[in-house]
Amino acid sequence: MDDATLFRRAFGVALILGVLSRLIVLRIVNRQQPTLPQDYIEQLILSFIASALGAIAFPALLDKEFAALTFLSVGIQQFQEVASEEELTLSNIEPNELVNKGITYIHDISKNYEVRNYLSIFSSLAASMAFILCNNILKFNFIMCVISAIIATGIVGYIFKKILSNKSLEDIVDVEVVPIEFDGALLKIGGVVITNIGLENSRKRYLKKGIGLKVIPKDLVSAGIIGDPAQQQAMLYNVYIHMGIDKDVDEPEFTPIARTNPNDNSVNFGFIPLVKDIDLTVEAIKSTPILDSSKGNNNAYSKSKQNK
């Protein structure tokens, strides 16, 4: 086939595969409301644009249209700006949350949002390259070229999956349920003082509906991760979005606060979910993603004998 026909076919196949690769890993950014239709539409449009940029890049270079690199770089810059806008939006709605995400968690969400757009670019780029090279060098027919493009897309998708699949707290901690107690007005979770609860009715509510939780690190590196205030806030928020919280905006005494026990590096906190289901609450804690900014804490112990 002539070059024009080859490039058109390569572009079409790569465009489709780029969009499909994005759909497979589609995650809505606003994690508290994961079914907003406008978020799905936004993601589909961005994946189409990103796939088109990646699909056209290699044919354009072969045709000596080097301006395609300029458009590709401009497109990447636009995706960075979109991610920055997403971070700004999440930061603006943060004061309205009953339990805050924290600035670091918001930054992690926006960076993942940006990287997923790159998945479409590089998937379609790899598909386009595989299709054209298999046709020109290996002399494959159309079906074999499409299969080669699918394989190339799968390889890129696998690489991005490894990059995007962050570990969760389940890999580094154990979770125990501990008693909620009061020493006068002091709220104590597993013997650790959390805060002062002045109203008697509030103390009774904690004792009746609350769950005391103790997050125990498996080693010193894990202790550094869960000891990070940003990681603790992300954990509290993750429990909140999964279990809800039995409080109103004018009841700050029921906002969960995490405290570190210096004796064993565990993190203790009390929580009043809408439904008191201990197993689901523990599962929500363990599903919290490990923030990038928390991973380097205590890393000097990673090869220490104490960590074995």
Question: Which pLDDT score, from 0 to 100, does residue 127 have?
Answer: 96
Look at residues 209, 191, 210, 207 and name the one whose alpha carbon lies nearest to residue 266. Answer: 191
**Can you list the pairs that 45-49 forms with residues at least 24 positions away whose Cβ atoms lie under 8 Å?**
46/79, 46/82, 46/117, 46/120, 47/18, 47/19, 47/22, 47/23, 47/117, 47/120, 48/15, 48/19, 49/75
Question: Which pLDDT score, from 0 to 100, does residue 82 have?
Answer: 83
Question: Which pLDDT score, from 0 to 100, does residue 29 have?
Answer: 46
- Mean pLDDT of the 121-127 span: 94
With 0.85 as the threshold, say if the pTM is over it: no
Question: Which pLDDT score, from 0 to 100, does residue 301 have?
Answer: 66
Minimum mean pLDDT among 57-61, 140-144, 148-152: which range? Answer: 57-61
Question: Which pLDDT score, from 0 to 100, does residue 225 have?
Answer: 93
End-to-end CA distance of the chain: 61
Question: Which pLDDT score, from 0 to 100, does residue 17 have?
Answer: 95
Please tell me what DSSP assigns to residue 143. H
The per-residue pLDDT of the chain, averaged, comes to: 88
Where is pLDDT greater, at 302 or 267?
267
Minimum mean pLDDT among 111-120, 130-139, 216-225: which range? Answer: 111-120
pLDDT at 4 over 70: yes
Question: Which pLDDT score, from 0 to 100, does residue 307 have?
Answer: 47
SS3 (DSSP) at 217: strand
Question: Which pLDDT score, from 0 to 100, does residue 37 have?
Answer: 65
Chain centre to alpha carbon of residue 261:
28
Tens digits of per-residue pLDDT, 279-304?
Answer: 999 999 999 999 988 886 666 666 55
